[in-house]
A and B are shown apart, each in its own frame.
Chain A
């Protein structure tokens, strides 16, 4: 499991998301509040900044080090003010068969593609059916796969379901592609007899739009072992408003929903106090779009 954060809205100091809140994303790497395991297998981030050179192209930063010890990231975070961020701390099982390397770090973004993806979850028995899944990936994306994760294959599948993966993608097309991706995954899992609970919380972004799923295949279905994660739907939270900062002694957005211009979606709230956060419903996707400073959100039940 991992922890993910997506931000869309008015420009924000990066450190307000990664470092400063009492349960900021980087603190969730070693002290998550809603996950039993630690997220020690690296950090990745993509961000869009309208004041940067070629603003439509996001910058990307990845490191396999523990990000909390990364002085470069700390310095950058104090300087950068992106309007859109997709950041991820990677959690993997604690054994030597796992590949901790740069290729496996999220968010995934192939050159020329309009959207990036980060994943929180785990496809059970993935190795037993990854080659069957590959058959559903378009050849031009098969050659781009560099890592060994289920997440990157999901990304390649998603791009394969988009009619124009490099073009400007609208919400309806993206939702359709996402549903198609989940349906393909379900079909292949069924063919291969995989029935164990597999969380697939996806964050898909293009700088002006975010689609975040809270979705689990075969939720509540366990194998020989049953653990707390099987009994709990993997979390996904969001908050909206303006100016996410330290107001009146706490980290929060202000301004109410009627004046909202920003949204944070995260695997868990960035503060221990969760009162100004809401959960994305299970089996659903949350869409957020930013158009001329106007924020639109809607939740959609996934039918996959």
Chain B
């Protein structure tokens, strides 16, 4: 078994943890348990509750999913330095796919209990680790968007409504919003809620209006208070719905966090009221290491996990339609 310094040494090689200090990596190294399994071993099983996330040190893992008709779809391979299995930890949901070793594979597992401990202990080091996991999820989401665009390229685009370009917001008030019944807000104290409302802007968006455009730089995120927003992926003239965000959701964090242009556009699918927060405000809140920062970080994690799950469903659905159209050409890899 490797010692803590050896595990730390491995973590320092991971791009995911670049910039983390020795203290943070040591904290993480003390929490993980090493694993090693032979070829053809199921590391993660689709539909199971999460037992943890896995850092691959050596070997390789294939991600497969069971789709309707009990067929297996293979859609990615992971190798040394990759992290897998974090989504079900972030949103406390079930596994979206199965991870299957292709050869003898070794690495480290951060168990669910330890992940929750990191969430609860609320130290700056834990917050930093959580933010790195979020960064990794952002990369996965962008990769999923690329895959979806590619799959749509192969399909004959269906006629869709033309893109709308209006950005139509008007100032709104907080009256009539039952914050205590909404996810995220229900966890805030009265003072935190007031602080939060003070740093944000309450806005109303008409049904069909664009909140932000594909390719635009992002400097704001939106918390949905009433109605719903949706993320649309643009491909040529066609637009595809990726995710619907109900009241309580946080939208637009991907670009706000990774600093890249918006990969999707976002529109109000109903008459909606949102709380807009500057990306700089989000970072400032997170850097403050207050309980609010923790609630926010967890909420961002869940929001990203929601988008990633929706992407996965979208990929499965597209692949299924392709296979049905192909009729008898055999299962394909995506």
Q: Which residues of A contact B (CB under 8 A)?
A: 195, 218-222, 226, 230-233, 238-242, 247, 252-260, 273-279, 281-284, 294-301, 303
Contact = CB atoms under 8 A, between A and B. Distances in A.
B227 A281 contact: no
Contacts of B67: 257, 276, 278
B160 A301 contact: yes
Nearest to B227: A220
- The main secondary structure of chain B at its interface with chain A is loop
B324 A297 contact: yes
Contacts of A232: 246
Contact of A231 (B183, B270, B313): B183
Given A239-B68, A258-B329, A295 B317 contact: no
Given A221-B271, A233-B246, A281-B317, A241 B326 contact: no
Nearest to B72: A256
Given A231-B183, A278-B316, A301 B70 contact: no
B270 A219 contact: yes
A283 B70 contact: no
B71 A278 contact: no
Given A254-B69, A278-B67, A278-B68, A301 B183 contact: no
B71 A219 contact: no
A136 B281 CA distance: 51
Given A258-B326, A276-B70, A279-B313, A220 B246 contact: yes
A277 B316 CA distance: 10
A277 B68 contact: yes
Interface size class of B (residues with CB under 8 A): 35 or more
Interface of B: 46-47, 65-71, 158, 160-161, 178, 181-183, 224, 226-228, 230, 241, 244, 246-248, 269-272, 313-314, 316-317, 320-321, 323-324, 326-331
Given A226-B181, A279-B313, A301-B160, A257 B270 contact: no
B226 A297 contact: no
Contacts, number: 133
A231 B248 contact: yes
A295 B324 contact: yes
Contacts of A274: 47
A231 B70 contact: no
B68 A219 contact: no
A297 B321 contact: yes
A257 B318 CA distance: 11
13 contacts: A218-B271, A219-B227, A222-B178, A232-B246, A241-B69, A257-B68, A257-B69, A257-B323, A275-B47, A278-B67, A279-B313, A294-B327, A298-B158
The winner among A195, A240, A298 for most chain B CB atoms within 10 A is A240
B278 to A, nearest CB: 24
Contacts of A222: 178, 226, 247
A231 B158 contact: no
A136 B153 CA distance: 41
A258 B319 CA distance: 11
Contact of A195 (B161, B271, B317): B271
Contact of B247 (A220, A240, A279, A301): A220
Contacts of B326: 258
A276 B324 contact: no
Nearest to A252: B70
Contact of A257 (B158, B182, B247, B324): B324
B272 A220 contact: yes
Nearest to A299: B317
A219 B244 contact: yes
A268 B330 CA distance: 29
A296 B46 contact: no
A281 B241 contact: yes
Given A219-B246, A226-B178, A276 B69 contact: yes
A242 B241 contact: no
